[in-house]
Structure formats: structure tokens, C-alpha cells
Structure 1
């Protein structure tokens, strides 16, 4: 007997499905109609979208899933997921009563905000789906490296709405999965044929089927449940099947909403004069006919369990499960049901239908047919009851210092490549855990030397044909299961989703990776949604964005980044840096490899007021512009200042009239401008800003602390600028939007003239464009003169 037909299991699953449907609907109703509202805003909750996936969730979580399996739950099915966790003893009633409230159950499943068994956050539609594919690739990577104590392979499962598959990132992910040979990945499509605004186009399932098969996926179509399959075997059943197969989606939805009498009339009108068909239709009451015609496979436990249980291979699988949006609710089938809520009257009717007594709405087993003891014993035996959601992974020691290959003139991008190449020579454990990835710009972002040493990852060995044929080449592109680089196609969404998967390996796979991803800085914006999603999940990685600013000026506006430093400042969970010199970069990279491994203490540092012990991801904005490197030895205090965000390259004197603050590759212009002004204004200061993000975050945190009574809270930037005379002016300059540093004047009330780039698209040499946009040395001096009128700056005037 198939496992799904076990006479003991099916009734239990049926009862649990009923309870999940009730709890999820009640949770949403309570939040919208019963809980006190203090702001007058609609809470919402998607009762219909939750109901369409309830049976599938029940089959998976109570019968199919193993502890090592991971699931990305459709965002709008979050209430059903939390109801399941409640039944498994992993969610509290208090949090569910506060659904979508402060510190209550989140609107959509969240790894970081929900205190339950969430594998992947799915708040941004489509991204959780792609995440499962890349997590399957990362799982293969971890197992190929044969590290000790790696958990067994699991299936990475996405539960997606059919309208969710309109998201382009999903199809980019499918293509990359085909290239990389993805395994152990299931995508279950909740094919309810309704989107937020309408009913989906006819025949969409056939397009999905063809697409997935073309990319090497097995496709399983689950359309009819047991009741319909039995009806099809009766006289007249063939005609009934044909009618359903050709019924337009809008008409089917209308009939679902109208119920049994409407089904009967329509079927009799269309096919009821054919003898056997009429007798078949008349053999059902209205209620039975409505149940029969809505018996789709996505709501039929025996069909689902048989289908899931029969997948006995590791090939990727797309399951297209026909469902009804709002199944089991008064809203079922109505085209407006996506954001619709049951009225109090409808909920009261639903309560009676579910046999739930007033005052017992949150009881786990209220209204169910089976005994509480039998149900609880079944739940207690679940393999998911005690599974580990987040593994504890080893942290790897990082050397106290990274050796900087000496070069008199170089760029931060070249320095990054050289530093990683030096790390590649090492046999230290942390070097074995570094994994790099790039969207078809591996060489042009200076990862080539690292890849030559460490190789590219693939599940099977693939030799470099050029090397095999003895053709000279700078790069050695050999693929193997031990390689440490993922070469991706040119899709930034895939890059950030891959970094998200790599950056969660410590929790998902129990093996810590130190991911480094590279791309061109201007193209961060092409993948911002996925970058935000990765940070929201608390994935840990280092993002190296280069070239930046006007470095690629001859190539035109599309390759000029302006606002990316402010993206780094605004993105939660991402510490951003823009060093000018390679010795600064070496300090930051050493810190970053340690920072992405941290986690625990939530208290801020007493010196910087940054939550450095908590850790996070890191963004490095680098440049291809070669500049003369400084010959110097930095103390421990100097190195800490680089990490905290800024240090004095030229400390201001007691009578300082102007400070020039710069960030990144514009350093030569800032230094030249200070030199031009030095004869006339000897106390001038030059502030090297390595991280506007960390300076601003520390200042903001210290300000909030003082407002709460911690009067001695002082941030790094407040101390740096604290001795400046009140009449001192600050000229800020950056190869980016001027707002990046313009806020410095607010720290102690100094006047500021921010210089930067507000427009893009102009081509030319770097010098031409610096002059055009007003960020060259002459412009810096002119800004200082306007900011601090008085004695003219003679050298500047002579130069002009």
C-alpha cells in the first residue's frame, strides 16, 4: 500500500491540514478585526493566497521533509507556515496574536526577525525561489570539498506562486543552474491561476513545462485529485475531463466562487445532454459536485504525497500543482481575493464550519475529529520537531597583517588582486574557505591570479583546452570539485543571490565559507534587490566593486557610478569602504575576513559606537586609477582609525581655517590642493576618509546614545573634528555624489562645501572630467577660498 494511503496517516494529515487552514485564517482575522488599531492602517495578510498552499505545506512539513531539507515558503503563505510551526511547538501563540505587529510574526517568513524554523527569507517576491537553486549549488560545493562534520545533502525546495514566476531573476537563475548542473532542487508552483490583479493567461503551465524541460528539469504536473480521477473512470468521465481541460481560467474561477448549483447548471448547459454525462452529473448533490470540481491535485493529500514520495533522484524537479486561491474559504475563486479579507460575518460562518468554539480559537486541536493524544503523538514523532535550523560553524583565524606587495604606483583594484594572490599562496585554513565568484568579469576585476592558483569549481574535472593544446595564455581555466571560484554568467542578480547562498553556508551547511564577489561598481544597481535580500537574511560576504566613479570615463556614462557610496551607507548589514591606498585596503581586507565571521554581542563599541561584534557583510569600492603609494608604517592606532572610517593624513593646527576631506582615488587632487594652499594657510588639515558609512553610522549611534542619557558617548568622527575652530570650513571631495561627505558639517556645525559628481554620461580623460565636474585640485582650492574668504591663496592665483 502506498505510504499516502496509510489508513492511519491520512486522517491525521487531513485533520492537521484543517487546523493549519483555520489558524492561518484566524491569525489574519484577529490582526485586522479584533486587535486594537492605534494608527488606523490596514494590517492585511492574504488569507486567500495562504489557503491555496495549505495542503501542499501540510504534506511537506508533516510527512515528506527530512531534517536536512530546506524550504523557501511563498511569501503570502507565511501565516500557514507559522501555524505549522505552532503545531510543532516552535511558534508561540503570543507572537501569532501579534501577527504583523511589533516583534510579532512577520508579514513574510524572515530568517532574522521570526524566532522559528525559517530557512530562507522570502519577503521579496521571486528571490527566495532563486535562493534555493544557488543554495543547492553551494551544498554541492561544500560536499565536494569533503570537510569533516558536513550534514547530509538535503533538497532545496521553493514553494512559489504562479504569478511569482513573472519575476525575471527566476529565469536568470534557471539558466545559471543549467550551466552549473544544479541538483537536489525542487520548485513547487502553486498554480492557482490568479495574480494580484487578475486571472493569469491561458496555457501558462505549458510554457512553464517546456521551459523547465529545456533546461534539464524533470516536470511533474499535478492537476487532478483522487475524486476527479475516479470520476473520469466512470461512464461520461472522458467528456467531463475534456470540459475541465478546455475550461477558461476566468470561468473556472467564477464557478468555484458561485458553488455547486452554478457548476451543475454550467455542466448541464455545456455537456449534460450526452446520456452518461448527465447521469454522472446527477449522481452528485450540489455540495458533492462543488467538492468534486474543486478536487485539484494541489489540495489532495494522497496525490501530493504519492508525487513527492516518488521523487527518488537528485535531478532538479519542477512540480506544477493545480490549486484554487482561497481554497476552503468563502473567498475561493473570486478575482479580488488576493488582498481581500473575510468579513466578521464570513468568519463566523467559517468558525461554525470548522467546529471551533468561541474562546477556543487558538487551541491546537479544537474542532478536529481525532483524539488530541493521537495528534500530539504524531507531531512529537516528526523529524522536524528537533531539527537544527542554523548550524554552528567554526570560525577561522585571520593573520594579524596581510603582506602588501611593494609597488610605487598602483591602484586599489590591482592591490586587491595582488593581496588575494598572496593569500592564494597560503595553506592557512582560512585560505581554504575563501570562495570567489564573479558575473563574467573575473579577469577585469583582478581575480585572475587567484583563480590560476585555486582553480574554478565544477562537479566534474574539466581541463583548460588552451593549456592542453599548449597555447600560451595568461590564465589557467581548470575546473575541478576542489576549485574555489564560481564563474557566473553576466547577471548581477545571480551574483548577489549566489553571495547570499555562499554567505549562509555556515548556518545551512554547517561549513563556514568566506565569499568574495566582484563586479563593476556601476552595475550594483542592477542587482540591488538581491543585495538587499542577502543582507536582510544576514548572509556574510565581501563585495568588491571595481572600477568605480569616472575610472572608465572613456567608455561613457553607463560605466560611471555616482550614487554607489550612498547605497553602501544606506544598506543595512553592509559596511562599506572606499580606500585610496593599498596599505589601507590590506588593513580593511584583513578586518573584513574576520568581520564576516562574527556574531553575538549586540552592544556597540565604546570607541566607535559601531556594532562590530555583531558582524555583517562588507562592500569595497575600488578604482583602477593608479596613484603613487605612500611610504609609511602605520601603528595599531592608525590601523584602527582606517577601520573606524577616517584618519588625519595631515593633522590640522590650532588655527586651522580649512580642512579638505576626501575619499578614494581622488586623493592626489586633495593632496595637491592642500599643497597649493599650505604656504598661506599653514594649519590646514587633510582628512582621509576610508568609510563614510562607518563614520556616519558611529556618529548617528553616539548621538542617539546621548539623547538616552549616555552623555559621554562620542564617535570617531566627533573626536577627529572636535578640536577644529568653529570658524574652520570643510571642503569635501569624492568621485561620487557630493552628499556622500556633505554631512560632515553637521557633526560640530562647521561650514561645508561638498564637491562631487551629480551628472554622468560625459566621456574623456580622467583629468578632463575631473575639471569638467569641478573635483580637480583647482576646484578644491577655489571652494576653500569661497568658504573661508580673506587672504587670497597666492599659489592658486599664480597657477590660474
Structure 2
């Protein structure tokens, strides 16, 4: 019997043309990818030794729903310049594809979700150059493709990358439940404003989420949203088998029934199989004789194939859809699929985190034709024309050959950044003046800076930079106020040469835009140095996207200002409290809070270099203030310059064995100085320590402590240990910060000193500085009281 089937298959293939042979070959590859993804998860959960008893997981059903789509994309449609964000739960499918393409190792596949193995969700930093965008927090992976397209446009319109070459498509593979995330629609709005092109979102519309079924009318709402934002919408509901059935007698009734069937019933029938399909359809439409005859004409296996032959599982339908995109406008494909397609779990509402048990998997393995011992074999179980299959894989491997992460040259930096000295200045104002001076001077650094802000450009002191460099836009648009001779400080000219990307009030979009701009070197081979500004308290509104940007290892400078209760009249809604600890705790982000203008210049200069340090660098967060304070008259020596970027320096060094020291950060420098002057008569040996980065001080100390546990510290001392070394062992530190006191309180643990931490640990309120600083006990009087206590 098997021999007859094989002979018939050979005869069939001989009669097929090249295009149909390729479709058959792609279908075989699809089955192989589904097998490898399912096997990898099964191996991790049921066969690999478990030392802790935890379920490994892996989402077999979510993988199965998108396998056809990803096969069509990676094995046929992608070009070298395209970039893809894969939905988080499809990670095993991506690993399986890259394994076939030669970019993933068996060892990492065998260690899926284990230490140093293939990651649970696609990760640029841990999975390597096969991953274009990290995904994990749902919705963000989709939205970043919009801002990657914006970054590509920014580079092309300036001819930084060749504008005469075909642009890449920024493609997101999106789970339908991801469309519940609000950041999706924020991203649609901002990218509509910028008329972004060359974006594809391919929605795996399997109509199931973690806890239940998706409403059957959701696809209509999806379509309306995307069309309203100017997107092409292509719906792939029916596969080729279904469309053929619709042309037969009873076919129109079948189509009406499919369209009317609720998602939960359709999924339940998918799980139950052919007998359930027959019973339900005949029960719902008892008078449709042609339909009943149509259904009866299909054997059980063929009926199941027909009813699950949705657009997202039909290779021909997918390829035709990809080729039918009319233009470079953003396009979304709504691909109907079955969650768990091809698995014993298909359609069941509990299958999201479900795993095939041992008997189910044995039956699945048998259906895949993979013999025991050949589970990892690249071609085990494949039938058909192996030469065509090999050629498809070879051609696809040339597109994904490891060059997806590009290298970019470093931007040349000046020895020091220019800044205009003043008797009184705020750190925010100094930041704006430095950028304005850079814009006027020009050069490599100025040309590669790109700024962005969520509708707070002027109030975060970017106005001078924008006046010099302009707003970025696809189309020229001159400032109407200037054209009509209406006086204004701002020159809002928009053009392709502009270097500021103005966003709406959406912090998620700010961080996603910074992520995409900060990956420009890796994605497109040309480095940008992005700077994003926002009000410091609103970091929390976009914290998920900020974490996502850092997890990508995107490089940018985040300037958060104004900060703290020093923004006194604005009240608690605009006064940041916990952000210093966010800066300390966020991996991939180094935070600073300078007090004086020369410190800002040093830190920004260091930051531009740090953003370009491929091995040890990262992003930078500057917590700045609008409070103008008197500036010291000084010329920084090399030692002090180094200390500033290392996290702190003695503004007034203590005497050896001193029993007291005041420690301040940022805008509270005047209060600390005033208290110091009041105390020095009684405590002449006391020192005054300026902390410019709690983050740098704390993390260097902690990193060294970990090395000491392993005996690998080589006798080194952390910067904070050296700073505190002159103090007596029983010295008392008084720390003060316009933020949560815990950001400095840890310093007592460095050398065992007592600490009196002053700061803000409750919501702010309206008032002037005198009232608020007294109420929250951070003015010079309270600092002095804390210092005098024993």
C-alpha cells in the first residue's frame, strides 16, 4: 500500500509545474518546522532532566498557529534588507527555522529555555544576530517596527543610507491578543502623523487568548482601526480548499455558516473533529440539502482539512497575499488561523500553555513520519522533491546568513563639549545650551544626533536645537507663524533634513522611537545618537517600553526634566519621587543627576562615548532640574573630571578621621552648601560630597563585591570605597536628595557608617521651595539637625 501511495505521489509531482512543486516543497518545510518547534518544547518539558521540578513551557499551540505564516515569510518572501519582529510565543518556530537555515545549533535547541540555550522569547542580545527585534512584552515588538521604519526613512532622506536602493520592509508577526495593548494604537497614531511606509503587520488571528476566546467581531474593529490610520488591510479568511468548496453546490451556504459561526464553537468543533462538524452544520442548517450533500462528499480526514483550511494555513493564499500588496503604504494582513493547528490540542480553549502528553506526542510523531532517534535530523520525515526543498532552504539561508546585525562606524567626538558659563544656571538650561552650541558648530557629532520628545520639546529646552536643525518630516512644511510674520521664539520648519522627531503625548512611543533610533547602527549599518526628552515623573508611564528598549541593547540618551519636588508649584502629579531608583535598577541604563553646568558637560561628553562602546556601553539617563543655582567658579582638573563621570567627588574634602560628612545630589546642592557653612565652625573636619551618579557608585561597588566572593577582585577598590576611606569608622553620613532617600541610604553599607537619609517618600504637593523643603525636611535647617544628632 505504501509503495502504491509513493508511486501515485511521484506521478502527481511529475505533472505539476514548477510553481506548484515549490508550493508542495514549502508545505513539507512547514510540516518540518512545526515538528521541530513541537519537538523542542516536548524535549525540554518531558525528556530533558529537570533539577528543580519546574514546568518549562513553550506554547506548542501558539507556535502551530503561525507556522505556515512564518514558513511562507522566511522561506520565500523575505529579502536581505527586511527586518522582522516575531510574536513572543512563536520563539520555538523561529529557532526551528534558523536551525534549518544553519544559524541555530542543536545544542541550543536541546537547551531551549535552559541556561545559555535558545531563549523563551526572541532576544537580540541572547539569541544573537538571527534576531532583528527582541519581543516578550506583548504589543511592544509589533510597535517598534513602525519606529524602525521611521528610522529607515530618517536615514534614507538624508542619504546616510542609499536612497536609491529598495528599502527594507519592517515586519511584525502579531498575535491577535496583542491588539488589546494600548501601545499598539498609540504607535498607529504617531506613525500616521509621520506618513511612515514599508511596514507589514501580519496578524495571527487564531481567536484564542490565554484565558478565553476572542470576540468574533474583533476583525471588523481591527480593520477599521488600521484603515483609519491609512493602512492597507488584507484579510485572509479562507484557504484554497475552502474557496474551491464555495464554488460547488451548497458552497454558498457553507460560507454563510462559517461566517456566522461563533469563534468558541468553531474552535470546539476543530478540537472534536469530523463527526462534530457534520452534526453541527446539519443541525444549524437542516433544510440546506446541497450543503448536507457537500459535507457528506468529504471523508472524515478531508472534512477536517477543509474546515481548518483557513487563509493563514494555506501556503498559496499567503504567498498570493504577500504579492498583492499594492504600494509601500503600511499593510496589515489579518490571517485566520487555528490555535494548535495540526496538533492533538488544536482548537481547545485550554491549549495556550498546554503541552502534548506522551501518548499524544507519540501519535503526533508518527503522523510526522519522524523515526525515533532522528528527531533532530534536518530532513527526517520529509517527502516530495528533496532537491527543491534543499534549494528553498539554501536560498533562504542567504537572506539570513548572519549579516542581519550590521556594524557601524563610531561618531567622532570633541575633546570637551562646549557650554556657556553663567553665574546662575539650571542643569536643564545647560543641557539645552550645549545642544544649541553643537548645532551651531556642526560636525560629525551634531550631524548624527537626532532628538525626539512627546510634545514637550520646548519645555525640556530642546527649542534652540530645533531652531537650528529643524523638524524631521517626509514633506516640506514651513512654520505658518513665521510665514505670517507672527513673532515666535520657535522655528517649526519641517523637512527631510530635520533632526528632531516630534511625537504626540505618548511616552511608550518615545521609548520605542528611542529604541529604534538607538538600533540604527545594527539594523541599517549607520549609527545615530538619539536624545529623548520628557518630564521626569512620566518615565513611569512608559517604563515597560523603556525596559524593552534597554533589553534590546539600544543606545540612547534619556533626558528627564524637570524632576523632584523642586518643581514646586506644579504639585504631586508632576513631581517625581522614585525615578532615582528606576535609574539605579534598570539594566542597560546608566543614570546621572548633576548639580552644576560643568558637570552636565562632562557627563554628556562621557555619555556620547558610552553609547558607542559596543562591549561595555549602554544607554544613559540624565535626571535634570529647572532650578537655577549659583555656579562654582572653577576649572576642572582631570581627576575631578574623571570623578564626576565615576559618580561623585568631594566638593570639600574631609579631614582624615572625620566623624561627619554631608552627601547631596543634584538640585539640593544649595541646601547642602548652606548647611555645610553653618556646621563647619563646630565640625571643621567635616566633608561635603557631591554625588553625580548614585547608579555608577552603587553598581561598581556591587560588581566588585561579587568578584570578591569569587576571589577575583585583585585587591581593587570601588570609587565609593575610596571616597569614604578618609572618614572615621564611626562617622555619620547625612544624605539628601530630591527623590526617594533610599537612593543614597545604601552608602552606609560600604564601610559601615551610620546614615541619616533625607529625601522624599510621599507624594509631593504645591507650594514654594521654602515651604516644601521644610515640609519634607530637606532644607539646610533639617540637614544641620540630622548632622548634629549622635
TM bucket, shorter chain: over 0.9
Instruction: Provide the residue aligned with 1:246 in structure 2.
Output: 260
Q: How many residue pairs were aligned?
A: 772
Matches within 5 A, 1:588-603: 588-600=603-615
Q: 1:7 offset after TM fit, Å?
A: 2.2
Q: 1:523 offset after TM fit, Å?
A: 0.3
Does residue 760 (structure 1) correspond to residue 763 (structure 2)? The answer is: yes
Q: 1:149 offset after TM fit, Å?
A: 5.8
Q: 1:388 offset after TM fit, Å?
A: 1.7
Q: 1:116 offset after TM fit, Å?
A: 4.4
Distance between the aligned counterparts of 2:669 and 2:326, measured in 1?
Answer: 60
Instruction: Provide the residue aligned with 1:297 in structure 2.
Output: 311
**Deviations for 1:554-596, whole angstroms, at most 9, x for unmatched residues?**
1211111011000000000000000000100000001111110
Instruction: Provide the residue aligned with 2:61 in structure 1.
Output: 48
Distance between the aligned counterparts of 2:342 and 2:251, measured in 1?
Answer: 25
Does residue 347 (structure 1) correspond to residue 350 (structure 2)? The answer is: no
Distance between the aligned counterparts of 1:183 and 1:374, measured in 2?
Answer: 34
Does residue 676 (structure 1) correspond to residue 678 (structure 2)? The answer is: yes
Distance between the aligned counterparts of 1:180 and 1:427, measured in 2?
Answer: 26
Q: 1:272 offset after TM fit, Å?
A: 4.5
The SS at the match of 1:159 is strand
Instruction: Provide the residue aligned with 2:93 in structure 1.
Output: 80
Contact kept in structure 2, 1:4 and 1:305, CA below 8 Å: no
Contact kept in structure 1, 2:577 and 2:763, CA below 8 Å: yes
Matches within 5 A, 1:561-580: 561-580=576-595
Distance between the aligned counterparts of 2:608 and 2:166, measured in 1?
Answer: 27
Contact kept in structure 2, 1:379 and 1:385, CA below 8 Å: no
**Deviations for 1:360-417, whole angstroms, at most 9, x for unmatched residues?**
1111110110354443233112242426211111101111111220210110011111
Does residue 729 (structure 1) correspond to residue 742 (structure 2)? The answer is: no
Q: 1:655 offset after TM fit, Å?
A: 3.6
Contact kept in structure 1, 2:418 and 2:438, CA below 8 Å: no
In the alignment, which of 336, 339, 349 is matched to residue 325 of structure 1?
Answer: 339
Instruction: Provide the residue aligned with 2:325 in structure 1.
Output: 311
TM-score normalized by the length of structure 1? 0.95
In the alignment, which of 731, 748, 771 is matched to residue 745 of structure 1?
Answer: 748
TM-score normalized by the length of structure 2? 0.96
Contact kept in structure 2, 1:228 and 1:292, CA below 8 Å: yes
CA RMSD, 1 decimal: 1.3
Matches within 5 A, 1:1-400: 6-147=19-160, 152-370=166-384, 372-382=386-396, 383-386=398-401, 388-400=403-415
Q: 1:598 offset after TM fit, Å?
A: 1.1
5+ unaligned residues in a row in structure 1: which ranges?
601-613, 790-800
Distance between the aligned counterparts of 1:97 and 1:371, measured in 2?
Answer: 29
Q: 1:763 offset after TM fit, Å?
A: 1.3
Deviates more, 1:488-497 or 1:370-379: 370-379
The SS at the match of 2:56 is coil
Matches within 5 A, 1:497-516: 497-516=512-531
Distance between the aligned counterparts of 1:618 and 1:370, measured in 2?
Answer: 54
Q: 1:312 offset after TM fit, Å?
A: 4.4
The SS at the match of 2:636 is coil
Instruction: Provide the residue aligned with 2:542 in structure 1.
Output: 527
Distance between the aligned counterparts of 1:87 and 1:116, measured in 2?
Answer: 16
Contact kept in structure 1, 2:103 and 2:402, CA below 8 Å: no
Distance between the aligned counterparts of 1:5 and 1:290, measured in 2?
Answer: 28
Instruction: Provide the residue aligned with 2:693 in structure 1.
Output: 691
Q: 1:533 offset after TM fit, Å?
A: 0.2
Distance between the aligned counterparts of 2:44 and 2:657, measured in 1?
Answer: 62
Contact kept in structure 2, 1:408 and 1:628, CA below 8 Å: yes
Q: 1:27 offset after TM fit, Å?
A: 0.5
Q: 1:267 offset after TM fit, Å?
A: 1.4
Q: 1:737 offset after TM fit, Å?
A: 0.4
Instruction: Provide the residue aligned with 2:628 in structure 1.
Output: 626
5+ unaligned residues in a row in structure 2: which ranges?
1-15
Distance between the aligned counterparts of 2:219 and 2:385, measured in 1?
Answer: 41
Contact kept in structure 2, 1:393 and 1:507, CA below 8 Å: yes
Instruction: Provide the residue aligned with 2:511 in structure 1.
Output: 496
The SS at the match of 1:568 is helix
Instruction: Provide the residue aligned with 2:12 in structure 1.
Output: none
Distance between the aligned counterparts of 2:592 and 2:554, measured in 1?
Answer: 18
Does residue 778 (structure 1) correspond to residue 773 (structure 2)? The answer is: no
Contact kept in structure 1, 2:155 and 2:161, CA below 8 Å: no
Distance between the aligned counterparts of 1:689 and 1:375, measured in 2?
Answer: 62
Distance between the aligned counterparts of 1:635 and 1:171, measured in 2?
Answer: 50
In the alignment, which of 632, 638, 649 is matched to residue 647 of structure 1?
Answer: 649
Does residue 543 (structure 1) correspond to residue 546 (structure 2)? The answer is: no
Q: 1:148 offset after TM fit, Å?
A: 5.3
Distance between the aligned counterparts of 2:143 and 2:392, measured in 1?
Answer: 33
Distance between the aligned counterparts of 1:403 and 1:365, measured in 2?
Answer: 62
Instruction: Provide the residue aligned with 2:3 in structure 1.
Output: none
The SS at the match of 1:112 is helix
Distance between the aligned counterparts of 1:623 and 1:306, measured in 2?
Answer: 56
Distance between the aligned counterparts of 1:412 and 1:367, measured in 2?
Answer: 66
Q: 1:286 offset after TM fit, Å?
A: 1.2
